[in-house]
Amino acid sequence: MRSMRQPKRLGDALRAVRSEAAPATLLAATQELWAEVAGPQVAAESAPVSERDGLITVACHAAVWAQELDLLQGELVERMNGALKERGGPEAPLVAGLRFTADAARSEPR
């Protein structure tokens, strides 16, 4: 009699494929961790869209969100870098800063 293996959960399989397919860049890591670091409400209103020399540009749905998140920048950078170190070890690339823009078109999930 053959033993039957349990099927994998779809979420687990997709996470594994997604982590293998994501480019190994600071932007990709930031995009993946954004909802965890910023929280679900902030992540629903904003998204990291570009990176240059460690500076992440985050597009927000409205200027009010951009302004509010700019005030929280220090805390968000600290939390993001903590999550990056935890995930990638001491050699993980770190976020130098965050720049927030009011750009609803770019903040929409694709």
Q: Residue ranges per domain, the chain?
A: 24-107
Instruction: Burial-class residue 95 by CB neighbours within 10 Å (0-12, 13-18, 19+).
Output: buried
Q: Assess whether pLDDT exceeds 90 at residue 27.
A: yes
Q: What is the per-residue pLDDT for 20? A: 67
SS3 110: coil
CB 47 within 8 A of CB 58: yes
pTM beyond 0.85, yes or no? no
> pLDDT tens-digit profile of 72-90?
999 999 999 999 999 888 8
Domain 24-107 maps to which CATH number in 1.10.10, 1.10.3470, 3.30.300, 3.40.50?
A: 3.30.300
Cα first-last separation, the chain: 47
